[in-house]
């Protein structure tokens, strides 16, 4: 128990927090990551007795906010709520002012969400295996839409190409709605789309849901197989959001935050909240989170290099 630990760090963790905590969100207000951060901040404020304040620091594809966290004092009073895209940033951009592996300490994941491989109703292929066969018979001819260059849906498509051994043509859109509209209309045959935006359209019969990008099927759509079980071994490209601190944050404080976050996520209120936004509750230990960050940083670096993806920060 924390109370039994000797030393200054343990006593600091017992008292933590003694002043407000800033939670950086490296994205604009209003998105899903922002909404989840605000919910978590509200509940942590209640549970730990001091205010947790969300501070949106958007810009440069999340790098502005993450640099603030990386350079902040490692005392538990500056945190970050980040999507897993930050693990791809080092490979996507030529200049990053922090080290994703060395400058942050994972506290816990707070949610996960799959994406969907969707197809136009007019496409002859009705399964992942049939899409692969069609793509191999027509290399470089089948288009797939995404919500933008270097984003989660683009990387999901690049991973699919790499593991399935096919060559598709990426068509980036400014957001997922444009891609979904063109898939429904048959202007492009395929798309990788967010689960929340595409599932209602699949259920309405406006496009086909061929495969879920996560490791396990979603309880919200148990009839749609994962892409791995549908024919692409080792495929996984789920979206997650997690809470980080600067590296060298005292471990007792990291553990205290982890315990508080896990307690929140185990509550019925959190379960209801997350279902309503199409997300699945996930949590892990700080050590498990660090392993995941390391594995995904290496994984996306390999995919990005193989696909030749390179972006300029904006």
Asked if the structure places residue 95 within a domain, the reply is yes
Number of C-beta neighbours around residue 2 at 10 A = 15
Look at strands 52-56 and 190-194 and give their pairing: unpaired
Q: Are residues 126 and 108 in the same domain?
A: no
Asked if the structure places residue 233 within a domain, the reply is no
Asked if the structure places residue 230 within a domain, the reply is no
CATH code of the domain in which 282 resides: 3.40.190.150
Asked if the structure places residue 313 within a domain, the reply is no
Distances (CA, A) of 48 to 242, 255, 264, 269: 19, 13, 11, 18
Asked if the structure places residue 224 within a domain, the reply is no
Which helix (H) or strand (E) segment holds residue 135: the answer is helix 128-137
Ramachandran sector of residue 83 (left: φ over 0; alpha: ψ -120 to 50; beta: rest): beta
CATH code of the domain in which 136 resides: 3.40.190.10
216: helix, strand or coil: coil
Asked if the structure places residue 169 within a domain, the reply is yes
User: CA 118 to CA 271: how far, in whole Å?
Assistant: 27
pLDDT tens for the 314 residues of the chain, in order: 344 445 555 656 678 999 999 999 999 998 888 899 999 999 999 999 999 999 999 999 899 999 999 999 999 999 999 999 999 999 998 789 899 899 999 999 999 999 999 999 999 999 999 999 999 999 999 999 999 999 999 999 999 999 999 999 999 999 889 999 999 999 999 999 999 889 999 999 999 999 999 999 998 899 999 999 999 999 999 999 999 999 999 999 999 999 999 999 999 999 888 877 778 899 999 999 999 999 999 999 999 999 999 886 44
Number of C-beta neighbours around residue 163 at 10 A = 18
CA angle centred on 285, ends 63 and 226, rounded to 5°: 75
Q: What is the pTM of this model?
A: 0.90
Range of the domain at 183: 120-212
Q: Are residues 58 and 203 in the same domain?
A: no
User: CA 243 to CA 224: how far, in whole Å?
Assistant: 30
Per-residue DSSP letter, 108: E
Structural domains counted in the chain: 2
Asked if the structure places residue 143 within a domain, the reply is yes
Q: Are residues 13 and 98 in the same domain?
A: yes
Distances (CA, A) of 39 to 26, 53, 268, 277: 16, 11, 14, 12
Q: Are residues 108 and 7 in the same domain?
A: yes
Asked if the structure places residue 171 within a domain, the reply is yes
Q: 3-state DSSP: the chain helix, strand, coil percent, rounded to 5?
A: 45, 20, 40
């Amino acid at each position: 128990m924390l109370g039994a630990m000797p030393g200054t760090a343990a006593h600091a963790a017992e008292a933590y927090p003694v002043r407000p905590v800033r939670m950086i969100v490296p994205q604009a207000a209003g998105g899903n990551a922002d909404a989840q951060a605000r919910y978590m901040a509200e509940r942590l404020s209640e549970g730990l007795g001091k205010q947790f304040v969300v501070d949106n620091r958007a810009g440069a594809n999340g790098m502005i906010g993450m640099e603030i966290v990386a350079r902040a004092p490692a005392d538990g009073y500056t945190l970050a709520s980040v999507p897993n895209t930050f693990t791809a940033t080092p490979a996507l951009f030529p200049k990053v002012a922090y080290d994703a592996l060395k400058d942050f300490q994972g506290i816990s994941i707070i949610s996960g969400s799959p994406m969907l491989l969707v197809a136009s109703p007019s496409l002859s292929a009705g399964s992942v295996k049939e899409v692969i066969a069609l793509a191999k018979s027509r290399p470089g001819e089948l288009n797939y839409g995404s919500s933008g260059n270097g984003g989660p849906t683009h990387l999901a498509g690049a991973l699919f190409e790499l593991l399935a051994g096919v060559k598709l043509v990426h068509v980036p859109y400014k957001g997922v709605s444009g891609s979904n509209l063109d898939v429904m209309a048959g202007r492009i045959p395929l798309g990788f789309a967010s689960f929340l935006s595409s599932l209602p359209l699949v259920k309405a019969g406006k496009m086909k849901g061929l495969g879920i990008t996560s490791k396990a099927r979603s309880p919200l759509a148990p009839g749609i197989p994962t892409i791995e079980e549908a024919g692409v071994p080792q495929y996984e490209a789920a979206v997650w959001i997690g809470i980080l601190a600067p590296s060298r944050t005292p471990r007792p404080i990291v553990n205290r935050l982890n315990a508080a976050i896990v307690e929140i996520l185990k509550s019925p209120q959190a379960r209801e909240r997350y279902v309503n936004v199409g997300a699945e509750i996930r949590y892990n230990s700080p050590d498990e989170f660090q392993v995941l960050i390391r594995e995904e940083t290496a994984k996306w670096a390999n995919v990005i290099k193989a696909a030749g993806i390179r972006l300029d920060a904006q």
